[in-house]
């Protein structure tokens, strides 16, 4: 009888331990996320990082270019990438998915778009599609303003192939901030400019712009109708199931990102402050994001993060 009681107590202790122990190994405590200096990614990375910190993890954002991000996932130098835009990244980086070198976790945003745009005062002068650009090459200076190198390949391919009569044009590769600074300067004086634009983004609030039709071959139909996926290094889900559960739950929407990005770009907030404000204004999202997610120490993830982010 005594042996039975001891055995029962031991079983109960093991059961209790299994329900409080972390779902992830110590190696999962540090979570490395790719940072490309895109404002949307800065916001989503900051949101994920605040949640991870509240759960007892140690997120780290590492500044990388887009091609290096995929190589780093493949080589297991980083863990997570929240900015896999499709279809714009599909052709160039498809082999990483097809070869099983990185894992697709979820689609974290739908309803996005990504294609060329002009200020609406340019559109009013007859520029409504990609095929209208070449007719006004002198006014555009035969230049298309893009973002950082490695993210403009569809435009470079378009020019190399001479599609839309743009064979002798140039893609000015800069950065998101640099491109938008140029747009702002040109718009102030009603000068002509064509540039890479997307939603969600505060540019849709801060500029009166018109998206160009006719870029289906470059960016897909519906003005580059896009989705954004979350990727991890191969095998991360099996190794770190609790973090992965959070990533599977972490879905955004256009309104959340537009407003959060506007906090950063227009109001000058740092990304963590913008993310914290957006979470405070949308507390119901925590319920969705933290469903079945534990703290690193095995506690109630929702209660821990709620106490951290919504205590004031």
Please give the radius of gyration of the chain, using alpha carbons only, rounded to the nearest integer. 23
pLDDT at 7: 43
The backbone torsions φ and ψ at residue 37, rounded to the nearest 5 degrees and listed phi first, read 65, 20
pLDDT at 133: 98
Neighbours of 75 (CB within 10 A): 11
Question: Which residue ranges form the domains of the chain, and what is each CATH number?
Answer: 26-111+226-309 (3.40.190.10), 113-224 (3.40.190.100)
Q: Find the largest Cα–Cα distance for the chain.
A: 95
Tokens, residue 17: 């331990």
Q: Contact, 234 vs 104, CB < 8 A?
A: no
Neighbours of 10 (CB within 10 A): 10
User: What does pTM read for this prediction?
Assistant: 0.74
- Describe the crossing of helices 66-74 and 90-98 by its angle, rounded to 10 degrees: 0
Three-state DSSP class for 24?
A: coil
| CA pair distance 40, 219, nearest whole angstrom | 19
pLDDT at 310: 86
Distance from chain centroid for Cα 137 = 33
pLDDT at 142: 98
Cβ contacts of 260 within 8 Å, gap of 6 or more: 43, 47, 274, 275, 277, 278
| CA pair distance 311, 150, nearest whole angstrom | 41
Three-state DSSP class for 203?
A: helix
The proportion of the chain whose per-residue pLDDT surpasses 70, expressed as a percent, equals: 93
| CA pair distance 189, 186, nearest whole angstrom | 6
pLDDT at 87: 84
> In terms of Cα–Cα distance, which of 236, 203, 230 is closest to 110?
230
Tokens, residue 133: 């650009």
Regions of the chain with pLDDT less than 50 = 1-20
| CA pair distance 215, 245, nearest whole angstrom | 36
Distance from chain centroid for Cα 92 = 17
| CA pair distance 303, 290, nearest whole angstrom | 9
Residue pLDDT, tens place only, 88-117: 898 899 999 999 999 999 999 999 989 999
> In terms of Cα–Cα distance, which of 162, 164, 159, 207 is closest to 182?
207
Residue pLDDT, tens place only, 169-197: 999 999 988 999 999 999 999 999 999 99
């Amino acid at each position: 009888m005594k042996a039975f009681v001891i055995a029962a107590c031991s079983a109960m202790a093991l059961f209790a331990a299994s329900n409080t122990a972390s779902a992830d190994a110590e190696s999962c405590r540090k979570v490395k996320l790719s940072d490309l200096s895109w404002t949307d990614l800065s916001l989503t990375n900051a949101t994920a990082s605040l949640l991870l910190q509240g759960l007892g993890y140690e997120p780290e954002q590492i500044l990388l270019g887009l091609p290096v991000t995929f190589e780093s996932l493949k080589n297991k130098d980083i863990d997570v990438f929240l900015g896999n835009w499709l279809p714009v990244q599909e052709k160039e980086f498809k082999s990483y998915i097809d070869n099983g070198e990185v894992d697709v976790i979820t689609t974290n945003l739908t309803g996005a778009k990504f294609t060329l745009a002009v200020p609406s005062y340019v559109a009013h002068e007859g520029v409504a599609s990609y095929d209208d650009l070449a007719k006004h090459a002198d006014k555009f200076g035969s230049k298309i303003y893009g973002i950082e190198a490695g993210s403009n390949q569809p435009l470079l391919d378009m020019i190399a192939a001479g599609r839309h009569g743009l064979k002798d044009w140039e893609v000015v590769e800069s950065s998101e901030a640099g491109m938008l600074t140029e747009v702002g300067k040109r718009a102030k004086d009603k000068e002509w400019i064509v540039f890479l634009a997307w939603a969600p983004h505060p540019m849709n609030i801060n500029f009166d712009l018109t998206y160009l039709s006719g870029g289906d071959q470059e960016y897909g139909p519906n003005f580059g109708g896009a989705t954004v996926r979350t990727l991890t290094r191969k095998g991360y889900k099996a190794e770190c199931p609790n973090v992965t559960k959070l990533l599977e739950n972490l879905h955004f929407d256009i309104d959340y990102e537009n407003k959060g990005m506007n906090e950063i770009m227009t109001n000058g907030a740092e990304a963590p402050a913008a993310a914290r404000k957006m979470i405070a204004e949308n507390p119901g999202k925590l319920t969705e994001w933290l469903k079945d997610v534990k703290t690193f120490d095995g506690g109630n993830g929702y209660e821990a993060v709620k106490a951290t982010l919504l205590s004031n």
